[in-house]
Amino acid sequence: MRTLSRIAGLALIAMYATVATAATALRMSQTITMSTLAGEAFAEDLSQFTGISGSKGNYQTISGPAWLSLTSKGIVYGTPTLENLGLNKLYASVEYAGKTDLFLVEIDVQNPDELPTLTLRAKVGEVFLNDLSKTTGIVGHFTYENLPAWLEATQAGVIVGKPTTSDIGVHQFQAFVDGTDESLTVRIEVYNQTPAPESMVVKVGQFIAIDLAKSIGLVGHYTVYAPTFLKLSANAVLSGTPAVTDVGLHRIWVDIRQGIKLSRYYFDLVVEN
- Domains within the chain, CATH numbers bracketed: 10-112 (2.60.40.10), 116-191 (2.60.40.10), 200-272 (2.60.40.10)
Q: How many CB atoms lie within 10 A of CB 115?
A: 19
pLDDT of residue 8: 32
Over residues 208-217, the mean pLDDT reads 83
What is the CA angle 59-60-61, rounded to 5? 135
Share of the chain above pLDDT 70, in %: 84
Taking only the tens place, the pLDDT of each residue in 7-52 is 333 222 223 232 222 222 323 467 887 777 788 788 888 888 888 8
pLDDT of residue 193: 60
pLDDT of residue 20: 29
Residue 264 has pLDDT above 90, yes or no: no
pLDDT of residue 174: 83
pLDDT of residue 116: 61
Taking only the tens place, the pLDDT of each residue in 101-140 is 888 898 888 776 664 678 788 888 889 999 998 888 888 8
pLDDT of residue 2: 34
pLDDT of residue 131: 92
257 HSE (CA, 13 A, CB side): 6
Q: Which residues contact 272 (CB under 8 A, 6 or more apart)?
A: 201, 202, 203, 204, 247
pLDDT bucket at 6, cuts 50 / 70 / 90: very low
pLDDT of residue 98: 86
Residue 141 has pLDDT above 50, yes or no: yes
pLDDT of residue 23: 28
Residue 60 has pLDDT above 90, yes or no: yes
Q: What CA–CA distance (Å, rounded) separates 92 from 74?
A: 10
Q: What is the mean pLDDT of the chain?
A: 80
pLDDT bucket at 211, cuts 50 / 70 / 90: confident
For β-strands 86-96 and 99-110, DSSP reports them as: antiparallel
Q: Is there a contact between 200 and 228 (Cβ–Cβ < 8 Å)? A: no
pLDDT of residue 119: 79
Over residues 255-263, the mean pLDDT reads 74
Residue 243 has pLDDT above 50, yes or no: yes
Taking only the tens place, the pLDDT of each residue in 72-105 is 999 999 999 999 998 899 999 999 888 888 888 9
Residue 68 has pLDDT above 50, yes or no: yes
Does the pTM of the predicted model rise above 0.85? Answer: no
43 HSE (CA, 13 A, CB side): 4
